[in-house]
Amino acid sequence: MTIRVVLADDQPLVRAALQMVITDTPDVEIVGEAGNGTEAIQLTESQQPDIVVMDIRMPGMDGIEATRLITASRSTARVIMLTTFDDDDYVYDALRAGASGFLVKDMALEDILAAIRVVAAGDALIAPSVTRRLIHEFAGRPEQPAPGKRVVEGITEREHEVLALVGRGMSNAEIAAELFISAATVKTYVTRLLAKLDARDRVQLVIIAYEAGLVTAPR
């Protein structure tokens, strides 16, 4: 099955670099390129891609608003946000808009390609460096909910522990090592959390963990 991708970035060189890598990949196909959020939405509607690789800062409609509109529509496309180190302030807003992945532009192009496959398979992915900055950025927001303001109900004590570790950006294998259980068991807990908390994917679990005060910035 070929993964259909729309690239949205106002920098032609960035699109060209991704295009160069993807062109030689048999299981991934670029079906459209956009230079702003409005074009990204139009291409998503017309081409029905599996993945939209979306830059945050673009002229006119930015990537965050475009992501919000795409995820609120009937489209099944999943959005991977691309950012630079200077875009820290936008991380939380982009995830709240419905992004399923968040990567930095200085990653190897092959790693971005791998991320496309991960998100297309239904998982969510946030670069570890982005996760660390997300924790700091969220904790420093003046409008953030007070710790514990969002009440997480209907989950067991063990699920609560798993949710907190997901919020810290840990993989299933890392959570398994931390809790001395198998990775398969962790996967089961994550699946239950998604269902019980009505979360679309792992990224939404991260947001829930932050808003419940389960994750705080290190001092």
Same-domain check for residues 114 and 176: no
Work out the average pLDDT over 104-120.
83
User: Hey, what's the torsion of the CAs at 100, 106, 107, 109, to 10 degrees?
Assistant: 100
The pTM of the whole model exceeds 0.75: no
The number of domains in the chain is 2
Work out the average pLDDT over 177-199.
92
Given pLDDT bands bounded at 50, 70 and 90, which one contains residue 147? very low
Which pLDDT belongs to residue 97? Answer: 85
Same-domain check for residues 161 and 134: no
Tell me if 152 is assigned to some domain.
Answer: no
Same-domain check for residues 69 and 133: yes
Which pLDDT belongs to residue 35? Answer: 94
Task: Say if residue 13's pLDDT is above 50.
Answer: yes
Work out the average pLDDT over 165-191.
89
Give the separation between CA 168 and CA 10, rounded to whole angstroms: 32
Which pLDDT belongs to residue 164? Answer: 92
Q: What is the pLDDT of residues 149-162, one digit of tens each?
A: 567 889 999 999 99
Contact at 8 Å (CB) between 99 and 87?
A: no
Same-domain check for residues 23 and 129: yes
Same-domain check for residues 90 and 165: no
Q: Which domain holds residue 91?
A: 3-138
Work out the average pLDDT over 170-178.
88
Q: Which of 83, 73, 78, 121 is closest to 100 using CA atoms?
A: 78
3-state SS record for 56-71? CCCCCCCHHHHHHHHH
